[in-house]
Amino acid sequence: MTDRRLLLKLAAASATTLWLPRSAWSAPVFRSNPFTLGVASGSPSHDSVVLWTRLVQTGLFGGNGLGKEAITVHWEVAHDEGFRRIARKGQVQALSELAHSVHAQVGGLEPDRWYFYRFMAGDATSAVGRTRTLPAPDAVVARLRLAYASCQRWEHGYYAAYRHMLAEQVDAVAFLGDYIYEYPNARGAVRVPTGGWVVTLDDYRQRYALHKSDTDLQAMHAACPWLVIWDDHEVQNDYAGLQAGDSGPQLPSSVSGFAGRRAAAYQAFYEHMPLRASVLTRGLGGLAAGAEMRVYDQVRFGQLATVYLLDVRQYKDPQACTSGDTLGSSRVNPANCAIWQDPNRTMLGAAQEQWLDQALATGSPGWNVVAQTSLFGMRDSRAGSGRSLWNDGWDGYSPARARLTDSLQRHGTANPVLLGGDVHESWVGHVKADYYKARSAVVGVEFCGTSITSRGGTNERVPELLEENPHFIFGEAEQRGYGIAEFTPGQLTTTLRVVDDVTRRDAAVGTQAVFRVASGKPVVERQ
């Protein structure tokens, strides 16, 4: 692992525009196209955006073949796809310590504008990407089309969903976790990942490179900016804070405990996502000692909507009362778990909770969208008396969930919308102030999306679960896909899009269901 302070300096240096004369550029002669992992953009604001790529050379796996030298990468942002009207240009250094990734932070752009961008290194030129800035914070905005997606396990299918998402003409994609999985294979795998179990920094880099090689995923990254957060499989199944999860072999001697593994995973996440260098600037100790890599943030689309991106993994307390005293998650009867209602237990951590509370206090006058990685509403899987709840999601942290809904109520937050993923199923319903009280007030609406490829359950018990949990109005467990949330000043329309066969590259897409929420009224109606 790279030393923490050096890592921060490297991240800042690799993201900063360098005004070097062309004679000072490094000019390697590449044996093959160094831009095979594609291009991406993200972390947009009203006047800036982050442009991403990563240079590779000798195949995707087992190193990138570029040695230890820094490589000068030139970038251009233009008003037109032919790059005749250049808006901004500059150079950055792709450093070996950060896997020759590029995070060009481009400022000075006009608000609410689409742009085209590309990279050049040596004699090679990347594919052209398309990105946009957000409207000015005080701008009146007529519409926002936001795609949301999660859980794209390589072994379980092809990314045809992204091919269809590309045709949706969205303004941005909110990716809600599980971009990669750490497993070496799966039963009945559709396509087999390379590299075995993912444990070390090189392992994580290789697994991201594998995913980035998918052409449908590349095309969607190149189409618009992405807002990205993580869940557990970017590190290890069911990990919680600095407590390990429940999958994988013993750590090799090159990794300093679970904190070292998490640090490697976090660094690789940064190296492969269009994130600002500032995500690495929190904490005084090293990543391997548990220092923060902050990914939670807020993004404002003028007066129409604000999206709050949450991190529900890095700061959470260990799961309560997991059966058999093992690590990871399980279903729990809260009546048999003494710490279930402990108010000190947290999902977000104290600092993030405080940040979110303050952000909601000055939230959007339009829609306030809380994008996080799990099912938010209570889902009791035991019919009749007693409860059976999953201790890894919000059900296992109900006092923390109550603090969030209390914040929405105290601040009179306009039009709260919760987006989630993780469970590989679609659940749509109403956010309750207190899920333990049947007559509790409704404070918002929830859309928990299915997976891009990761397998789910069956629909056999869905009717029973809907009856037991009447705050949900829709559930579906068998189909894979994504959601499109279209916001206007008067309403939210959410369309659930699903592919017919995730095991086929040429899978077709259809509409599973459409829902409407009128502004000022937290009621989900199926169309």
Convert the pLDDT of each residue in 124-176 to its tens digit.
Answer: 999 999 999 999 999 999 999 999 999 999 999 999 999 999 999 999 999 99
Q: What is the per-residue pLDDT for 245? A: 95
Q: How far apart are CA 53 and CA 125, in angstroms?
A: 12
Phi, psi at 468, each rounded to 5° = -75, -25
**In 3-state terms, what secondary structure has residue 319?**
coil
Residue 255 or 194, more confident: 194
Q: Tell me, what amino acid is at 524? A: V
Q: Looking at the predicted structure, is the pLDDT value of residue 256 above 90?
A: no
In a domain, 430, yes or no: yes
Q: Are 272 and 204 in contact (CB under 8 A)?
A: no
Q: What is the per-residue pLDDT for 283? A: 41
In a domain, 223, yes or no: no
What digits encode the pLDDT tens for the residues 327-380?
999 999 999 999 999 999 999 999 999 999 999 999 999 999 999 999 999 999
Share of the chain above pLDDT 70, in %: 93
Give helix 398-410 / helix 350-361 axis angle, nearest 10°: 20
In a domain, 168, yes or no: no
Residue 5 or 161, more confident: 161
Share of the chain above pLDDT 90, in %: 85
Q: Are 282 and 4 in contact (CB under 8 A)?
A: no
Q: Are 428 and 444 in contact (CB under 8 A)?
A: no
Question: Residue 54 — left, alpha, or beta (φ > 0 → left; ψ -120 to 50 → alpha)?
Answer: beta
Number of domains in the chain: 1
Q: CA separation (Å) from 155 to 64, 91, 151, 422, 451?
A: 23, 37, 12, 17, 13
Q: How far apart are CA 276 and CA 194, in angstroms?
A: 29
Rounded mean pLDDT, 508-526: 98
Rounded mean pLDDT, 471-495: 98
Place of tokens 């050379």: 57
Q: Tell me, what amino acid is at 519? A: S
Q: Are 71 and 28 in contact (CB under 8 A)?
A: yes
Query: Across the strands, what pairs with 514?
Result: 495
Q: How far apart are CA 441 and CA 471, in angstroms?
A: 11
Q: What is the per-residue pLDDT for 408? A: 98
Q: Looking at the predicted structure, is the pLDDT value of residue 2 above 60?
A: no
Rounded mean pLDDT, 453-470: 97
Q: CA separation (Å) from 474 to 175, 425, 504?
A: 22, 10, 27
In a domain, 243, yes or no: no
Q: Looking at the predicted structure, is the pLDDT value of residue 107 above 80?
A: yes
Strands 472-476 and 49-54: unpaired
Q: What is the per-residue pLDDT for 250? A: 78
Q: Are 280 and 273 in contact (CB under 8 A)?
A: no
Q: Looking at the predicted structure, is the pLDDT value of residue 421 above 60?
A: yes
Rounded mean pLDDT, 110-129: 97
Burial of 101 (0-12, 13-18, 19+ CB in 10 A): buried
In a domain, 387, yes or no: yes
Burial of 438 (0-12, 13-18, 19+ CB in 10 A): exposed
In a domain, 197, yes or no: no
Instruction: Provide the CB-side half-sphere exposure for 410 (13 A, CA).
Output: 13
Question: For residue 400, what is the DSSP state?
Answer: H
Q: Are 133 and 46 in contact (CB under 8 A)?
A: yes
Can you give the CATH number for the domain in which 474 is found? 3.60.21.70
Rounded mean pLDDT, 317-328: 93
Q: Which of 22-26, 34-38, 157-161, 217-221 has the lowest mean pLDDT?
A: 22-26
Q: Tell me, what amino acid is at 80? A: D
Q: Looking at the predicted structure, is the pLDDT value of residue 23 above 60?
A: no
Q: How far apart are CA 223 and CA 46, in angstroms?
A: 18
In a domain, 323, yes or no: yes
Q: What is the per-residue pLDDT for 67? A: 85
In a domain, 31, yes or no: no
Residue 474 or 61, more confident: 474
- To the nearest 10°, the Cα dihedral for 283, 289, 290, 295? 50
Q: Looking at the predicted structure, is the pLDDT value of residue 290 above 90?
A: no
Displacement of CA 250 from its chain's centroid (Å): 27
Closest CA to 105 of 24, 155, 42: 42
What digits encode the pLDDT tens for the residues 383-418?
988 999 999 999 999 999 999 999 999 999 999 999
Q: What is the per-residue pLDDT for 456? A: 96
Question: Residue 373 — left, alpha, or beta (φ > 0 → left; ψ -120 to 50 → alpha)?
Answer: alpha
User: Number of H helices and number of E strands within the chain?
Assistant: 8, 24
pLDDT-based confidence at residue 255 (cuts at 50, 70, 90):
confident
Closest CA to 444 of 491, 405, 497: 405
For residue 118, what are its two tokens?
Answer: 């590309």
Rounded mean pLDDT, 74-98: 96
Question: For residue 382, what is the DSSP state?
Answer: S
Query: Across the strands, what pairs with 395?
Result: none
Neighbours of 38 (CB within 10 A): 21
Report if pTM > 0.85: yes
Displacement of CA 60 from its chain's centroid (Å): 23
Q: How far apart are CA 402 and CA 482, in angstroms?
A: 28
For residue 474, what are its two tokens?
Answer: 């829709």
Rounded mean pLDDT, 425-442: 96
**In 3-state terms, what secondary structure has residue 501?**
coil
Q: Looking at the predicted structure, is the pLDDT value of residue 64 above 80?
A: no
**In 3-state terms, what secondary structure has residue 166?**
helix
Q: What is the per-residue pLDDT for 75? A: 97
Q: What is the per-residue pLDDT for 308? A: 98
Q: In b/e form, how buried is each residue of 111-128, taking b as 16+ CB within 10 angstroms?
A: eeeebbbbbbbbebebeb
Q: Which domain holds residue 503?
A: 134-160+296-527
Q: What is the per-residue pLDDT for 253? A: 73
Q: What is the per-residue pLDDT for 153? A: 98
User: How much is the mean pLDDT over the chain?
Assistant: 93
Q: What is the per-residue pLDDT for 65? A: 75
Q: How far apart are CA 248 and CA 233, in angstroms?
A: 11
Rounded mean pLDDT, 226-244: 97
**In 3-state terms, what secondary structure has residue 132?**
strand
Neighbours of 189 (CB within 10 A): 14
Burial of 243 (0-12, 13-18, 19+ CB in 10 A): middle
Place of tokens 């993923």: 421
